Structure 1
Amino acid sequence: MDALIIAAGFGSRLRDLSDSKPLTPIAGIPLLELGVRQAKAAGAQKVVVATGHEAERLEAALPGLAVRCGLPVEAARVADWSKPNGWSVMTGAERIAGDFLLMMADHIFSAGILSGLARQGGADRGVTLAIDRRPDNPLVDPDDATWVETGDRGFIRAIGKTIPVYDAVDCGAFLATPELAQAIAAAIAAGKAGSLSDGMQALADVGRAATWDVGNAWWLDVDDPRAHALAEAQAPRELAEVYSAIRDI
C-alpha cells in the first residue's frame, strides 16, 4: 500500500506563520514530515506528495525527507494548483497502483487512526473516510470543517462544508481505491468544480462511500494560527512515538 499526501494548496489561513504550509514546523518537525512518518507507521511503502504552491521549494525538500523517514517520497506536481483539491487526488493517483491512504498535509493524527483506517478496505466500498462523531470536539473549527451525514451501515449520505444535516466531521484521512479518482473525473465531466467532496458525494450516491469512526482518538487540522498553537502544545504528547523516534536518530 502507498500513501498520497495533498500538499498543493496556498494555505492562506496560515500565511502569517509560514509561506509553505506543508513545511510549517510543529514543535520542530514540518507538517509534511509528520504525515510521511505517520503514513509509514501505518504500512505505506511509498509516499506520493501532490505539489503545487511553492512546488520547487517543497520538491527540493523531498529527497532529504525520504532519507530521514526511510521510504521513497516522490512528487506529483498539479498542473493548476488553484483548482479544487480533487485535481490533486487525480494527479497523485496516477503514480499509485491499487488502494492507498489519502491524507491532507495539514492534518495530523494519533497513532491508531491511520493504522486502523488502513485495515478498512472491502469489496463493498470505493473509499473509506475516517470520521469523528463528535461534532462538538473542541479541536474542530466549525467554520472550516467538512461535515458528513451517515446512513445505513455508516455509509455516507452527504458530505460538504454547508450540508444542513450531519452527524460527523471529516477527519481528512481516507483509504481510497482507484474508484475515487474516477469519481472525481466523472463529477468534473458532469460540470462540478472537481473537489474531493464532489468525488466523495458521487461515490456516496451509488452506495460506495464508507466511513470508519475514530472514536475518542486525537486528530487536528492545522489550518490557522489557533490550530497551530494547539498542535505545538499537544502534538509532542499525542504523537509521542513520532517525536521519540526522531529524537533517537
Structure 2
Amino acid sequence: MDAVIIAAGYGSRLASLSPSKPLTPVCGVPLIEIGIRQAVSAGVTRVVVVTGHRADEVEAFLTQLALRVDIAIEPIRVEDWSKPNGHSVIAGASGCTGDYLLMMADHMFDSSILSALLAAGSETRDVTLAIDRWTDNPLVDPDDATWVQTDAGGFITAIGKSITTWNAVDCGAFLATPRLAEALAAAIAAGKSGSLSDGMQWLADRGRAATCEIGGAWWMDVDDPRAHALAEELAPQRIASAFAPS
C-alpha cells in the first residue's frame, strides 16, 4: 500500500521554530520522518511526499531517510504550493495507481490509527477519514480544527472548519481511492478553492465519504509553538517506535 504525505505548505505558525514545517524536529526527529516511520509500522510499503515550500531541503532529507528506513520515497512537487491543500492531494494521487493512505506532514499518529484505516476499504465508500469523537480533546485547537458531522451509519454529512454542528473532529489521516482526486477536480471546476474539505464534502454529498473512529488512540496536529511543546512532552511516550534509532 502507498502513502501520500502532504508536505508542501509554508507552515507560518511554526516559522518561529523552523523554516520548514515537515523538517521541524520533535525531540530531534523531523515531523516528516515521524509520519513516515508510523506509516511503515502500519504496513505502508511506498511513500509519495508532496513538496513545495523549501522543496530542495525536504527532498534532500527524504533521499537520506529512504536509505535509513529502507523504503521507497518519491517526492512530487506541487506546481503552486500556495494553493489550498487539495491541489497537493491531486498531485500526490497522480503518483499512485490505486488506493493510498493520505496523511498530513504536521500530524502525528499512533500506528494503530493508520493500520485501522488500511483495513477500512469497502465498495460502499470512496474515502474513509479517521475521526476522533472526543471533540473537546485538550490537544485539539478548536480555532484550527476541521470538524465533522456524521450520520448514524458513520458517513460524513458535513465537514469543514466553519460548520456549525459537528460530532467529531478530523484527525488528518484518510484511506483514499482515486475518486478523491476526481472529486477535488470536480469541486474546483465548480468554483471551489480546492481545499481537501471541498473534495470530502463533494463525496459526502453523494454518500461516499465514510469514517473510521480512532477510539482512544493518540494523535496530534503540530501546527504552532504550543502544540510543538506538547508534542515534545507527549510524543516519545505515545509513539516511542518513531524515536527509536535506525
TM-score bracket, shorter-length normalisation: over 0.9
User: Counterpart in 1 of 2:227?
Assistant: 227
Q: Does 1:93 align with 2:93?
A: yes
Q: Does 1:46 align with 2:53?
A: no
User: Counterpart in 1 of 2:138?
Assistant: 138
CA shift for structure 1 position 43: 1.2
| Amino acid of the structure 1 residue aligned with 2:216 | N
**Counterparts of 1:90-239 in structure 2 under 5 Å?**
90-239=90-239
CA shift for structure 1 position 152: 3.4
Aligned residue for 1:66, secondary structure, equals helix
Measured in 2, the distance between the counterparts of 1:168 and 1:241 equals 28
CA contact (8 A) 2:42 2:114 kept: yes
CA shift for structure 1 position 239: 0.6
CA shift for structure 1 position 242: 2.2
User: Counterpart in 2 of 1:58?
Assistant: 58
Aligned residue for 1:220, secondary structure, equals strand
Percent identical? 65
Measured in 1, the distance between the counterparts of 2:153 and 2:199 equals 20
Structure 1 runs of 4+ aligned residues shifted over 3 Å read: none
| Amino acid of the structure 1 residue aligned with 2:10 | F
Aligned residue for 2:83, secondary structure, equals coil
Aligned residues: 246
| Amino acid of the structure 2 residue aligned with 1:181 | A
Measured in 2, the distance between the counterparts of 1:23 and 1:66 equals 15
TM-score (norm 1): 0.97
Measured in 2, the distance between the counterparts of 1:111 and 1:198 equals 27
CA shift for structure 1 position 74: 1.0
Q: Does 1:23 align with 2:23?
A: yes
Measured in 2, the distance between the counterparts of 1:5 and 1:240 equals 21
CA contact (8 A) 2:129 2:212 kept: yes
RMSD: 0.7
CA contact (8 A) 2:145 2:161 kept: yes
Structure 1 residue runs of 5 or longer lacking an equivalent are none
CA shift for structure 1 position 111: 2.4
Structure 2 residue runs of 5 or longer lacking an equivalent are none
TM-score (norm 2): 0.99
